[in-house]
A and B are shown apart, each in its own frame.
Chain A
Amino acid sequence: MKAKYIIGGVVIAAFVVFGAISFMQNNIAYVSAKVAEQTHRTVQVKGSWVKTMKTFYDPTTNTFHFYMVDDHHTILPVVLAGAKPNNFEIAPNIVAKGRYEDGVFQATNVLTKCPSKYQSKTGPEASTQQSASKSYN
C-alpha cells in the first residue's frame, strides 16, 4: 500500500516538473517592439498595421512584408512567412509572433483580431444603410 503511494507521488511530481518546464520553455512573452529588437527569443508583439507605410507580398519567397507599430509607438518592420492574413485590413489589432533577425521581425504567425466580436461604439446611424458598416471604425 505504501509503495503504491510512493510510486504515485513520484509519478505526479515528475509530471508537475515536466509540465512546469514545458510551460516555461514555451511561454511566449508579450514584449514591446524595442525589447523584441534586443532579444533572440521567440516573442509576441502586439500592435497595429501601419497603413501608410509600404506593404507588399513577395510571391517568390511567399513572404508578406509590412510595418507594425506597437503600443509605445515604436515601428517594427515585419516579414511574415506566408501571405497576407485574412482580416488583415480591418483588424484593429494584430499580434506578430516570431524572432527579430537581420533588422526585421521574422514572424512565423500574425494573428488578426477577429472583428466579428467587436462591438460598435456608436450604434446605428440615422442616415443610410451604409452607415452600419462605417460605425465600425
Chain B
Amino acid sequence: MLGRALVYAAFGGMLTATFAYTYNFFSGDEKFLKIARIGFHIGAIFVILTAGYLMDLVLTHQFQYTYIWSYSSYEIHPPLLISTFYVGQQGSFMLWTMYTAIIGLILMAYSRKHHYESSVMGIFSSIATFLILMAVVKNPFERVWQTWPQTVPAGFMPTDGRGLNPLLDNLWIIIHPPILFLGFASTAVPFAHAFSGLLRKDHDNWTKVAVPWTLFTSAVLGFGITLGGFWAYETLGWGGFWGWDPVENSSFIPWLLAVASIHTLLVQRRTGGFKRANFIMGMLPFLLVLYSTFLTRSGVLGDTSVHSFVKPGMWVYVLLVIFIAFFAILGFGLYLIRVRDIPKKRINYTFSSREFALFLGAASLVVIAGFTLIGTSAPLITNILKGKPSAIANSYYIKTNLPLAIFMAAMIGLGQLLWWKKTNSQTLLRTLQLPLTAATILTVIVIFAGMHSIWMVMFFLASAFALFVNLEIGYKIAKGNPKFLGASLAHIGVAVLFIGIIASTHYDKTVTLELKPNLPQKAFGYELTYVGPHPLTGTKVAYDVTVQSGKSKFVAPLVMYHSAYNGGAILRHPYIFSLVNYDAFTHPKLLGFIASNMLTRDLYLSPQGMEMTGGSSLQSSRYGITVPLQMNDPTNVGRYTFTFTGFQVPPNEREAMMEGKTFDLGSIVKITSKDGASQTIVPTNEIIPNGESELHTLKISSGDKFTVTDVHVDSKTKQASIDLAYMPAKKSPDMALLKQAEDGPNTANEALVLEATIKPFINLVWGGVVIMVIGFIVTWRRRREDLLRENI
C-alpha cells in the first residue's frame, strides 16, 4: 500500500499549495506563502517518489501489479524496460504528473524572481492536483487480484508478465513519449501566466515572462511530434509519417496554437496590441491538451481510429470532463470578468505592416488548428448530429488545410520583408525582387520536372519564396547579430519542411515486386535480388534483398515474423535506405552508398509476404484451368471472379432424375470480369446412372470456354462443390495462367513480395523540423536575456 500512500501524500501537498498560494494572493499573508511553498515541495517530492516507486516496480518485475504485468516481462531489459513505465495509461499520466512537478519546482523559483509566485503557482498547483487525482482514480498500483477478483486468487504472483507489444519494441519508444509529454506538461506554464495576468490585471508584463515558456513548449512539442512521425515511417511500413490520426492531431493542435501565440505575443511586445486576444491565446494550448487527452483517453472516439482506446472506466471519463470544465470555466470566466478593464490599444497598422502579416500568419495557424480540431472531433460531432459516430476522411484535412498552408507560406516570406507600422512600397518591391525571382525560377524547374497539380505548384512557389526571403534576411542577420537569428531559422525550417512534404508525399512512387530467389529485378534504377532468409533472434526472420546500384550493393534485411505476443500475427518491418539509417554505424561503407544513391530520395522497402508462385496454386486438365468452387464462395482466377450458386435441372428432366435415369444437371455460375461486367452461365453435364457423366463445354461471347469437370456433394455437410474448367480464348491474357497451370506445381517457387517506394526529398522533412526547433531555441535564449535585462 506504499504506492497509494505516496499518491495521497502528493495529493495532500499539492492541494495545500493550491489553497495556501491562493489565500496568500488575496490576503497577502506571508505565513501562507511559506505553507504553500512547503506544500508544493512536499507534493512535488512525493510525485517524484511515486514515479520512482513505480519505476522500481518496473525494473524489479513486480508482476503482482496489474500495470507491470500488462506491459512488461522478464524478456525485456533496460533501456527498453524503462519505457514500459509509460506505455500504458496510468504510467503516461504518471510521467505527465512527474514533469508537471519538476517544472513546478523550476517555475516556483522563476516566478519568485519575476514577482508572480502566488498567482502563477496557485493555478499551477491546482493543475498538478488534478493530475495526481488521476492516479487516485486510476491506481497504477492495483494488484492483479484486485483487477480480476473473480479469476485471480489473492496474493497470486504471476510467473511472467504479458510483455510489450513488439510494435513498440523499438528505440523510439524510449525517446518519443518522454519528449512529447514534456511538451504537454509545459503548456500549463503559459496558461498559468495568462491566468495570473488576468488575476493581477497585469496586461503586458505577463507576456514577457510567459513567452520563453511558450517557445520552450513549441520547440519540445514540435520535436516530439516529429519523432512520432519518424517512428511511424521507420517501423510501421505504410510509408508515411503523418496520418491525421486523433493521437497525432491531439498533439499537433496545441502545438499550432502555441506557435500562433508566439506571433501574437510578439505583436503585443512591439505595438501593445492584441492584449485581449493574448490572454486567450496563452490559455488555449493547455486547454487543448486537456481536450485532446479527453478525446484520446476517455474512450469517446471508440472505434473510429486506428489506435484502440481502452475504455478507462467511468471515473476517468468523469474526472477528465471535470478537469477540462474546471480550467476552461476558470480561465474564460475570469477573462469575461476582466475583459472590460483591459485597455484596448488602437494600433494604426496598415495592410503593408509587419503587424498585419503576423496577425494573418497567426490567424491561419489558428484556423488550421480549428479545422483539425473539428475533424478530430468528428466522431463526437456526428454522434450529436446524427446519433451515430463516424470519422472523417484524411482528404478533409488536406482540403481545408492546404489553402491555408499556402497562404501561410506566402506570409512567412512576405512578413519578413515588411516593416513595423508601414512599409514603403518601393523598398518592398526592391527587397521582393531577388527572392521572388529565385522562387519563380525554381518553381519553373520543378514544373518541368513533373509537378503539374496547380495546388502543389502554388504551395511550392509560396514555400520557395518563404525559403529565399528568410535565407536572405537570415544571412544579413547572421552577419550582424546571430542572437536575433531565431525567427529566420524557424521560418527557413518551416519552408524546408513544406518543400519536403510536397516532394515526399505527392511525388513518391511505389511498385509491387515479386522477387523469386536470385532473380534480379529492376526498380527505380536499382537492381533488387532476393537472396534468401536468415533467422534473427526469437521468431524473427530477415528476408535478405540485395540492392545494387552501379557496382556497389548492400543487403536489406526485411524483417517479418510471427509475434507470439500478438497471437501469431505476422508483423513486418520496412527497411529504409536513408541518411537516417543506423546500420551505417556498423557498415561504414553503407553511408557512402546511401550518400551517393539515396541522398535526395529514400528507398523504402516494405515486405508484404512470402508467396508461392509459378502456378503452384493452379491445376489444369485438358478442359483448361481447374477452378474448384464451393457453393456461394467467390473465387478469383485470372480476369474473372466465379461464384457457384447452385444446381439447376430443367423441368422436363426432373422426372428422369427422380427415376435415376440419365438427365442434364446444370451448374449455375456467376462470372464477373475485372471490368465489372457479369453474366450467369449454366454449363450442363449429362449424368449417366452408371456413375459416369458426359461433359458439355460452354463457350461464351468472349471466346472463353467453361466445362464442369466434377460435381461433388459432401455427404456430411451436404455442401455442394464443383470443379469448373476454364479454357481462356486464344488471345486472352489468361493464357499465361493456363501455361502456368499446365507446368504444374513442380516449378513452384517461393517469392518475396515487397513494395518498393522512393520518397523524394523526405530528408527535407526531418531537416526542416530540426532547423525550426533550433530557431525556437535561439529565440528562447534571446527572450530569456531580454527578460533579465528588462528586470520584470
A-side residues, CB < 8 A to B, are 15, 18-19, 22-23, 25-30, 42, 44, 46, 53-54, 57-60, 62, 65, 77, 83-84, 86-90, 93, 95, 97, 101-104, 111-126, 128-129, 132-133, 135-137
Contact = CB atoms under 8 A, between A and B. Distances in A.
Contacts of B159: 128-129
Contacts of A112: 306
Nearest to B606: A83
B393 A59 contact: no
B444 interface: no
A123 B148 contact: yes
A102 B642 CA distance: 12
B678 A102 contact: yes
A44 to B, nearest CB: 7
A133 B395 contact: no
A57 B752 CA distance: 12
Given A42-B393, A87-B566, A113 B633 contact: no
Interface of B: 63, 66, 69-70, 73, 87, 144-145, 147-148, 151-153, 156, 158-163, 165, 167-168, 236-237, 303-310, 367, 370-371, 374-375, 378, 381-382, 388-393, 395-396, 399-400, 512, 514, 564-572, 608-609, 611, 613, 633-636, 641, 643, 670, 672, 676, 678, 751, 753, 755
A36 B147 CA distance: 40
B247 to A, nearest CB: 10
Contacts of B163: 132-133
B611 to A, nearest CB: 5
A116 B87 contact: yes
A22 to B, nearest CB: 5
A93 B304 CA distance: 11
B509 to A, nearest CB: 14
Given A57-B608, A117-B308, A122 B678 contact: no
A7 B348 CA distance: 17
A22 B310 contact: no
A135 B613 CA distance: 37
B392 A124 contact: no
Contacts of B156: 124, 126
A25 to B, nearest CB: 8
B636 A87 contact: no
A77 B634 contact: yes
26 contacts: A22-B371, A23-B392, A26-B399, A27-B378, A46-B303, A57-B611, A83-B608, A84-B609, A86-B571, A89-B570, A93-B303, A102-B672, A103-B672, A113-B308, A114-B165, A114-B307, A120-B70, A123-B144, A123-B148, A123-B151, A123-B152, A124-B158, A129-B160, A132-B69, A132-B161, A133-B564
Contacts of A77: 634
A135 B672 CA distance: 43
A-B complex: 3 closest residue pairs judged by Cβ atoms: A123-B148, A26-B396, A83-B608
Kindly name the residue among B162, B388, B633, B753 whose own CB sees the greatest number of chain A CB atoms within 10 A.
B162
A97 B304 CA distance: 11
A30 B389 contact: yes
Contacts of B670: 103
B676 A102 contact: yes
Nearest to A29: B390
A118 to B, nearest CB: 6
Contacts of A125: 151
A133 B162 contact: yes
Contacts of B570: 84, 86, 88-89
Contact of B390 (A30, A93, A102, A115): A30
A127 B304 CA distance: 37
Nearest to B400: A22
B567 to A, nearest CB: 4
A42 B390 CA distance: 12
Given A27-B391, A87-B571, A132-B161, 17 more contacts: A26-B396, A26-B399, A53-B633, A62-B753, A62-B755, A84-B570, A84-B609, A86-B572, A90-B568, A102-B641, A103-B672, A118-B308, A118-B310, A119-B70, A120-B148, A124-B156, A132-B160
B308 A114 contact: yes
Nearest to B159: A129
Given A27-B378, A115-B308, A122-B151, A59 B753 contact: yes
Given A18-B400, A30-B390, A136 B567 contact: yes
Contact of A90 (B69, B566, B634): B566
Contacts of A19: 370-371, 374, 400
